[in-house]
Structure 1
Amino acid sequence: MARNPFKPTAGANPPLLVGRDVLVEEFLESIEDGPGAPGRITIFTGPRGIGKTVMLNTVAERVQSDHQWLVIDETATTGFVNRLTAASRVLLDPEAATRRRVKAVTLPAQLGGFELSDDPARPIGLREAAGALARRCEENGTGLLVTLDEVHSSSRDELRQFATAVQHLIREDREIAVAFAGLPAAVTELLNDEVTTFLRRAERHVLSDVPLAEASRALAETITANGRRIDPDALAVAARATGGYPFMIQLVGYQVWRKASGDHIDAEAARVGVEAARARLGSLVHETALAELSGVDRAFLSAMAHDDGPSRLQAIAGRLGKGLNYVSVYRARLLEAGMIAAAGRGKVDFAIPFLREYLREHAPE
């Protein structure tokens, strides 16, 4: 039996990436354009499951394969600046990883012969270590790409350190590029921080759902490439159920594949698979997203769930028994969190597929 090719796991690369080709090519062009190209600092943002981590993975793989750049992947959790500094030093001197204490890292004479001291009175920071690594890459005709996932406000101090180091390296015209990924609220805080204002000039891409035609292509090509066939009506059911939501493409594909009879996927398998995918989406995405919100945020969303389509702020205010100024504050919060999206003047809608149905199913009796 063929292995299920779909990957409904956070951050896992899908078998076929669709709807993002232009963004990937733009990033690669910035590498070709050299230091100073605006795309060399890029931020990917959007709601959960939209494919932010996949974009980081993809640009990293392409930069590495197409341009032979060195890539360091990190996550913005506590200690990431120290981890990046250590990684830079180990890459400069691989033997450092096997020694208990590194007294110095000296590059070969043909690479400049400069030295990084390990004197505790003068600790080596990220700027110095990454700068030395970038210079070594340049001597070999390449550069350094750092990807930083899950940018979060709780890492503000370290993000400031990181951004300051990157800013100095860019001013030195180093062959370096940085790609960030984070939820909208976290990215907004990063851009509004007084220390990291230069990041406002970064290329910022707000990822959204892909066209249903692209979702259909991802499902069909992945299924046929792995030895199965899917009926046209079954493909239509499956593609429509994804809503163009990248994570849902993988989840629907995974469940439809599981429900197939042999190597043939018919409409019934698609229908049952879609139901299973919707159930799993609730536990994998909706529960996690709602858990991080305040009680009033959740009440706002529950008030929206009464409507079959976009909700008017006036109606939400009435259901909550509050004034428009009050609900406008939470509208702004939920927009930044990527939970809702503007849907016309005075209207909002859910940004995460099937969140309306999830809230209705789990509404208190």
Structure 2
Amino acid sequence: MSNPFKPTAGATPPLLVGRQPVLDAFQESIEDGPGSPYLLQLMTGARGVGKTVMLNELGEVAQANGWVVIHVTAGPGMLERIAQRARVRRQELGAVDRGHGATTWSVTTPLGGVSRQSPSPEAESWPWVDEVAALLDVLAAHQTGVCITVDEIHSLDVEQMQTLAGDIQMLIRESRPIALIMAGLPRAVEELLAGESRPTTFLRRAERPVLRDVPVSEVADSFLQIVTDAGRSLSDELAMVCARATNGYPFMIQLVGYHTWRQGRTGPITAEHVTAGVAAARARLGALVHEPALADLSEVDRTFLVKMAQDDGASRLADIAARMGKTSQYAGVYRDRLLKAGMIQAAGYGLVDFDAPYLREYLREHAAHLMADRHTRHTRSDEGGPG
């Protein structure tokens, strides 16, 4: 039997747990029409919490309503990729005759067919917003629209963001059926919204769903359903053991399920399978989530986390500062940075705790390595080598 769990970044899991309210709100906004709130979203959450999966799922909702969906990842050339995909989809929907006078569209959509004419430009390609507007013209007869999703918005530069936001705002003002859903790490969104330009101000009015961990009871139910649907069995008690091992962290749900399933592949899942599977999942979580997340941080950010990991529970800022040999004011700057990055979370007045499961244990296990790397970099800098 094939393994039903999918621990690959962005892969749609066999059962989406705890996200239905976000999907329902988007469906309602599609039904309510242009200008509805959830057609413009800035989605945030920590690494591995399922942002890319949600973009895929929201795209499925849009497609089920007859909308055209364009998925892109932020970065150089993003607007050109949107334009190209809009042009391709427009051509897929009908025969395009680029004559001197008009363009004839013979269109078949999920909701029927239509023919219409519009002026034909001399150029073969248009600016991205014109390509999207032309696609919207084709879809207008059936009252469907275009949904654009943008992943990893921390890769956007300011110019791209302002162009995208300004053009989307124009389409919304024209009552076009357009949806823009973006996803990124919390700090990226905060930085994105920090400017004072008109497009940035417009984006501050976007809905901002925050994807968080899933209740453990729902995770246990999902393990039971997935395993049963795939033809094996799992007791209620072992399903809860698996669920607790995930801490409700969506990517860990897939890792625990995948590695537990691998232990036997056939027959009932046993306690031995679960124990081995959880251990393997924890190791993979470190390599796939914690290691790249820490690599994106500054040296002082990592030092803050290593010193914080010395506590068994929530940490006091004053204690972390003392271990760093710095003032609380100095440490507070890095606390705020790590809160925005989704690495830690507030845990009461003056307290912080780790946001991702097993990050504390990972930092303890790798503290010597992380601090050794920091010492090596400082030594090389002092010797005139690369800093």
**Do the aligned partners of residues 325 and 153 (structure 1) sit closer, same or farther apart at CA in structure 2, a change above 3 Å counting?**
farther
CA contact (8 A) 2:309 2:360 kept: yes
Deviation for aligned residue 1:169: 0.4
Q: State the TM-score, normalized to the length of structure 1.
A: 0.93
Moved more, 338-347 or 109-118: 109-118
CA contact (8 A) 2:6 2:258 kept: yes
Q: How does 1:10-21 map to 2 (within 5 A)?
A: 10-21=9-20
Question: Which residue in the other structure is 2:339 paired with?
Answer: 335
Question: Which residue in the other structure is 2:293 paired with?
Answer: 289
Q: How does 1:99-114 map to 2 (within 5 A)?
A: 106-108=103-105, 113-114=117-118
Opposite residue 321 of structure 2, the aligned amino acid is A
SS in 2 for 1:181: strand
CA distance in structure 1 between the aligned counterparts of 2:57 and 2:308, rounded to whole angstroms: 36
Question: Which residue in the other structure is 1:301 paired with?
Answer: 305
Q: State the TM-score, normalized to the length of structure 2.
A: 0.88
CA distance in structure 1 between the aligned counterparts of 2:102 and 2:69, rounded to whole angstroms: 20
Identity within the alignment, %: 50
1:278 matched to 2:253? The reply is no
CA distance in structure 2 between the aligned counterparts of 1:197 and 1:249, rounded to whole angstroms: 37
Q: How does 1:36-47 map to 2 (within 5 A)?
A: 36-47=35-46
SS in 2 for 1:8: coil
Aligned residues: 360
Equivalent in 203, 210, 220 of residue 206 of structure 1: 210
CA distance in structure 2 between the aligned counterparts of 1:106 and 1:333, rounded to whole angstroms: 52
Deviation for aligned residue 1:182: 0.7
Question: Which residue in the other structure is 2:55 paired with?
Answer: 56
Opposite residue 70 of structure 1, the aligned amino acid is V
Deviations along 1:54-84, whole A, 9 cap, x unmatched? 111111112211x111111111121110011
Opposite residue 74 of structure 1, the aligned amino acid is V
CA distance in structure 2 between the aligned counterparts of 1:90 and 1:102, rounded to whole angstroms: 18
Opposite residue 42 of structure 2, the aligned amino acid is I
**Do the aligned partners of residues 334 and 118 (structure 1) sit closer, same or farther apart at CA in structure 2, a change above 3 Å counting?**
farther
Deviations along 1:160-197, whole A, 9 cap, x unmatched? 22111111100100011111111111111222232322
Opposite residue 29 of structure 1, the aligned amino acid is E
1:182 matched to 2:184? The reply is yes
Q: How does 1:1-365 map to 2 (within 5 A)?
A: 2-65=1-64, 67-94=65-92, 106-108=103-105, 113-119=117-123, 124-193=126-195, 194=197, 195-260=199-264, 262-364=266-368
Opposite residue 106 of structure 1, the aligned amino acid is T
Deviation for aligned residue 1:237: 1.5
Opposite residue 274 of structure 2, the aligned amino acid is A
CA distance in structure 2 between the aligned counterparts of 1:347 and 1:150, rounded to whole angstroms: 29
CA distance in structure 1 between the aligned counterparts of 2:161 and 2:69, rounded to whole angstroms: 19
CA distance in structure 1 between the aligned counterparts of 2:157 and 2:96, rounded to whole angstroms: 29
CA contact (8 A) 1:126 1:165 kept: no
Unaligned runs of 5+ in 2: 107-113, 370-387
Deviations along 1:193-239, whole A, 9 cap, x unmatched? 32322011111011110000111111111001000001233222211
CA distance in structure 1 between the aligned counterparts of 2:63 and 2:148, rounded to whole angstroms: 11
Deviation for aligned residue 1:28: 0.7
CA distance in structure 1 between the aligned counterparts of 2:293 and 2:330, rounded to whole angstroms: 22
**Do the aligned partners of residues 105 and 153 (structure 1) sit closer, same or farther apart at CA in structure 2, a change above 3 Å counting?**
farther
**Do the aligned partners of residues 149 and 92 (structure 1) sit closer, same or farther apart at CA in structure 2, a change above 3 Å counting?**
same
Deviation for aligned residue 1:90: 2.2
Opposite residue 47 of structure 2, the aligned amino acid is R
CA distance in structure 1 between the aligned counterparts of 2:130 and 2:212, rounded to whole angstroms: 37
**Do the aligned partners of residues 329 and 230 (structure 1) sit closer, same or farther apart at CA in structure 2, a change above 3 Å counting?**
same
CA RMSD in angstroms comes to: 2.3
CA distance in structure 2 between the aligned counterparts of 1:246 and 1:254, rounded to whole angstroms: 13
Q: Could you list the runs of 4 or more consecutive aligned residues of structure 1 that deviate by over 6 angstroms after TM superposition?
A: 95-99, 101-105
Moved more, 260-269 or 208-217: 260-269
